[in-house]
Amino acid sequence: MSKVLIVDDEKDIVDLISYNLEKEGFSIVKAYDGEAAVEMTKTQKPDLLILDLMLPRKNGIDVCKAIRANPSTSDLPIIMLTAKADESDKILGLEIGADDYITKPFSVKELTARVRTVLRRSQEREKSPAPETFDFEGLSINYTSCTVKVHNSPVILSPTELKLLFFLSQNPGRVFSRNQIIDHVWSDETFITDRAVDVHIRRLRSQIEKDMENPRYILTVRGFGYKFADKK
């Protein structure tokens, strides 16, 4: 039975979603503010989070960032549910790590269907073995042999540059903050700064990008961090 954490400061909405998902066989836990939501992702270990954007104590964007920055919850599937219908809000939500985005008012049937879809995708990712190779627009990576080529020409990268490229390329299209990159690439090394991330990104680009000012692979998302280009 999959466990779903519902986070909204409107109790009626939480109860409505809870009632309908429980009928479909889901286990439900509830939170009514952002700080409680972050804490419950750690203590309750839900399989999926339905998250409102406008919350007391910590808004949904900050909740999403906190969840993605924590290695123990970084892979938690998140569906944002909000009255903010502007395209910019949707893009922002998806860029910081939401898996799906539904605007209020919403169809309970559609929400239930999306919960099932997002959970299925998450479970399929967990079952799928990690790929040994990666190819994108002339960039070829072999994760097993730790080799990188650009248009068939070998590229020599430092261990840190390799880890950075591996991490970003294994999550194409997903935006990571500098702190998230530090957590995943440097892990237990505690004295890495945001500036150091920028320096290593620049060094990596100098090795694999044809035009560092207009990169093809490692892209900057202003105000947030970096991502590997979306695979089409």
pLDDT digits (tens, 9 = 90+) for 18-52: 999 999 999 999 999 999 999 999 999 999 999 99
For residue 104, the enclosing domain spans 3-127
Which pLDDT does position 131 carry in this prediction? 77
Which pLDDT does position 96 carry in this prediction? 67
Pair (113, 141) in one structural domain: no
pLDDT digits (tens, 9 = 90+) for 182-232: 877 876 555 677 888 999 999 999 999 999 889 999 999 888 889 999 876
Pair (31, 137) in one structural domain: no
Which pLDDT does position 127 carry in this prediction? 63
Pair (25, 113) in one structural domain: yes
Pair (15, 108) in one structural domain: yes
Give the pLDDT band of residue 149 (cuts 50, 70, 90): very high
Pair (164, 84) in one structural domain: no
Pair (161, 212) in one structural domain: yes
Q: Where are the beta strands (DSSP E) in the chain?
A: 3-7, 27-31, 48-51, 78-82, 100-103, 133-136, 139-142, 147-150, 153-155, 176-177, 218-221, 225-228
Pair (101, 141) in one structural domain: no
Pair (108, 147) in one structural domain: no
From 127, 161, 179, give the residue that closes a domain.
Answer: 127
Q: Domain count of the chain?
A: 2
% residues pLDDT > 70 (the chain) = 89
